[in-house]
Amino acid sequence: MNSDYLLQIDKLRVSFWTEKGRLTAVEDASFYIKQGETLGVVGESGCGKSVTAESILKLHDDQLTDYEGTISYHNQNLLTESEKSLRKIRGNEISMIFQDPMSSLNPVYTIGDQIVESLRLHKKMSKKDAYQKAIEVLRLTGIPSPEQRVHDYPHQLSGGMRQRVMIALAICCEPTLLIADEPTTALDVTIQAQILDVMKDLQKKTSMGIMMITHDLAVVAETCDRVVVMYLGQVIEETDVKDLFNQPLHPYTIGLLKSMPNMDSDRTKELHEINGSVPSLHQVPQGCRFAGRCEFATEKCRNEAPILEEVTDSHKVRCWHYQEISLKRGASNGDS
Amino acid sequence: MAIPKEKEPIIKVKNLKKSFTAASSSFFKKNVVRAVNDVSFEIYEGETFGIVGESGCGKSTTGRTILRLTEPSGGEVFYHNQNIFDMKEKQFRTIRQDLQMIFQDPYASLDPKKRIGYSLEESMIIQKIGTKAERKERVLDLLEQVGFSKEHYDKFPHEFSGGQRQRIGIARALVLNPKFIVCDEPVSALDVSIQSQILNLLRKLQNDLKLSYLFIGHDLSVVRYIADRIGVMYLGEMVEKAPTDELFKNPLHPYTQSLLSAVPIPDPESRRERIILKGDVPSPLSVPSGCVFHTRCPYATERCRLEKPVKVQVDGNHEVQCHLYDE
């Protein structure tokens, strides 16, 4: 493992046992996160982005889940660690923010109690110190008068405030890696802007790595340094954020970018469409998984599965024809 | 689309009000939530009027009240100059054919036990339109219009994906040949690649069938794409109303300005000044005095705290409700 990598995922494969048989939600996922950087993981529903994130902390039901590959963190493979040592990492060194703060906070404890619980468990703090620290982290996340709010129950707070509490809870033990699973999807845009700002500020102060899982490419543009695009359980493109928007290589990424209505696009033009819809994970196409919806697909795409190919040091893509496609795109962009 | 001045609006909403009684701590005191307060706008034939705002601003309630899905507390809505709030239920039912709705959640709005064909025919059965064969023909025709084939007639909702269900929701709204459709966040539950399919479909149908839409949404880039004119709502009030391009080029209300600046831009190299609002939207149970936005407004003065601003026409079609502009 490269020494500046905080976390490295290698050939991760996650499958669940379901009523309809074995379902592989993530297949051959490999990427890394460096200290102090924000890695975006983008994709539509069912692409495996949340499953990947939850696998890092092994949050899936052990009885029903099979993991293959490795997730290396500080020279240990998290997938083979015991439950006991994972418990020392969860919420302490690696913590997670979930999408819906209402269902992830405990309604019968005050927010202070919930933060204190985590601090006492992981940092062995005294009750008094832990309360002080709780107030401090609540202040960091921009909650007004945290001395009073610390005694509030989750239902007394608004959605944006609850999400701040979730962030406070996640960062109270000063994690080295923060996994944020759609942290602003349930929030309004003005509140989203506040929350993204808070996360950026905290990152500057603590230099933690952030894994930002989202379906919103605009959020990626504003917050991330590097990006992993997933489709139907596979990583199909990995690049830094500038290249993602300036030189996307995979036809799916290109299509996604073109189909978004944009604040300064031409309103009279039809929006670009990606044909069809994402196939079910129970019927994964053989060959390239995107072939059925791809305008460039050939016989080869339908029969042979492409691998994630390294185009440059910082850009990888899983597509047989990316070279021709980018040539074609270059030509058509020149015309317009 | 430019609004022809001489044209009569198809829908005219005047001073619409809707309040709900909330649970209260005391038996003698009633808590009233003013969900929609004094909202007025017009929609012309073939036009899309967009309403944007954050959760709890009353945009969905506005849409539902216009169609009388909840009874209004005040104001008037005219459909071709007939006041639909004055009508008896029976009389209104004949007009309801012309006014339809597309809902946000395509999973919750179809009966899971009924075949798609029946779900689509149901409204014709209720309105006693056509024979069985005619109804089926109409439905098959509609399925084709929204991009399905004949086989889908006998399928159940669970056999469809989210985007396909939303197409069915659209087909169902079209069954009775409506003139006006309220689209309540029709693409919010969908993935980006599906969202553009639905938006294109809505536009195509509007052109083919001369429909007028009220498009309610929270995603500004989506509403910008589909709407000809936009009203911005905050805490039950419409604080600004303008043609789409004008609104995005020249937002006047401080709330609109901050809302627009908060929208993330999908370009990593664009760095712009963002107006970050302090705090949250106040509870609709205790609406601030004076201007509803003064608690979060960076320009608020004493006057804003005390006196409620009136709507001002700034130029032609641009209307704003803010003391900064009423000199």
* Residue B6, in any domain of the structure: no
Q: pLDDT tens-digit profile of B210-237?
A: 999 999 999 999 999 999 999 999 999 9
The first and second tokens of residue A102, run together, are 């209402």
Per DSSP, the three-state class of A211 is strand
Domain extent at residue B235: 11-98+176-263+276-325
CATH code where residue B70 lies:
3.40.50.300
- pLDDT attached to residue A123: 92
Closest CA to B224 of A260, A193, A254: A260
Same domain, B30 and B116: no
**B195 at A interface, C-beta within 8 A:** yes
Q: Is the CB of residue A190 less than 8 Å away from at least one CB of chain B?
A: yes
Q: What is the pLDDT of residue A333?
A: 60
Is B163 an interface residue toward A (CB < 8 Å)?
Answer: yes
Q: What residue in A sits closest to B198 (Cα-Cα)?
A: A273
- Residue of chain B minimizing CA distance to A216: B192
The answer to whether position B2 is within a domain reads no
Judge whether B233 and B59 are in contact, CB under 8 Å: yes
Checking DSSP bridges between strand B229-234 and strand B48-52, what pairing results, if any?
A: parallel
B111 and B257 in a single domain? The answer is no
Mean pLDDT, consecutive 10-residue segments, chain A of 336 residues?
85 92 92 95 90 94 93 92 92 90 89 95 94 93 89 89 91 94 86 88 92 93 95 95 94 93 83 87 91 93 94 95 87 54
DSSP lists the bridge partners of residue B318 as B315
Residue B15 shares a structural domain with residue B87: yes
- Any domain includes B4: no
B156, B175, B194: which is the final residue of a domain?
B175
**Average pLDDT rounded to a whole number, residues B46-63:** 92
Within a domain: B39: yes
Residue B270 domain flag: no
**Three-state DSSP state, B300:** coil
B218 inside 8 A of chain A by CB: yes
Contact residues on chain A for B259, CB-CB shorter than 8 A: 189-190
Quick: pLDDT tens for B232-255.
999 999 999 999 999 999 999 999
Q: Report the residue of chain B nearest A193, measured CA to CA.
A: B262
Residue B1 covered by a domain: no
B175, B203, B226 - which closes a domain? B175
Q: What single letter denotes the amino acid at residue A17?
A: W
C-beta atoms of B225 and A271 within 8 A: yes
Residue of A nearest to B225 (CA): A267
| Residue ending a domain, choose from B141, B175, B209 | B175
Q: Is A259 on the interface with B (CB under 8 A)?
A: yes
Tens digit of each residue's pLDDT (9 = 90 or more) over B92-150: 988 889 999 999 887 788 899 999 999 999 989 988 888 999 999 999 999 998 988 88
Q: Is residue B30 part of a domain?
A: yes
Return d(Cα A85, Cα A53) in angstroms, integer: 18
Do B156 and B85 share a structural domain? no
Q: Which residues contact A234 (CB under 8 A, 6 or more apart)?
A: A26, A27, A28, A29, A48, A289, A318
Query: Both tokens of residue A37?
Result: 């950087």
Q: What is the pLDDT of residues B280-315, one digit of tens each?
A: 788 888 889 999 999 999 999 999 999 999 999 988
**Pair (B186, B286) in one structural domain:** yes
Which residues of chain B have a CB within 8 Å of the CB of A216?
A: 264
Structure-model confidence comparison of residues B279 and A272, the more confident one: A272
CB nearest B197 (choices: A160, A194, A273): A273
Q: At B123, phi and psi to the nearest 5? A: -70, -30
Q: Are B108 and B168 in a shared domain?
A: yes
Same domain, B80 and B114: no
Tally of domains in chain B = 2
CA–CA separation, B306 and B303 (whole Å): 5
> Does one domain contain both B56 and B191?
yes
Q: For residue A90, what is the DSSP state? A: B
User: Does one domain contain both B234 and B306?
Assistant: yes
**Nearest C-alpha in B relative to A279:** B161
Q: Which residues of B touch A267 (CB under 8 A)?
A: 224-225, 244-245
Higher pLDDT pick, A133 / B22? A133
Nearest CB neighbour to B274, from listed A159, A188, A193: A193
> What is the pLDDT at residue A213?
95
Report CB contact under 8 Å: B55, A194: no
d(CA B153, CA B150): 6
Residues of A in contact with B284 (CB under 8 A): none
Query: For residues A50 and A58, what is the distance between their CA atoms, to the nearest angstrom?
Result: 12
Same domain flag for B210 and B286: yes
CA distance A146 to chain B (A): 14
Percent of chain B having pLDDT more than 70? 98
| Interface contacts A/B by beta carbons within 8 Å | 123
B154 & B67 share domain: no
Is the ipTM of this structure higher than 0.90? no
State whether B23 and B74 are in the same domain. Answer: yes
The verdict on residue B5 lying in a domain is no
Residue A246 to residue A240: CA distance in whole angstroms: 10
pLDDT at residue B260, rounded to an integer = 92
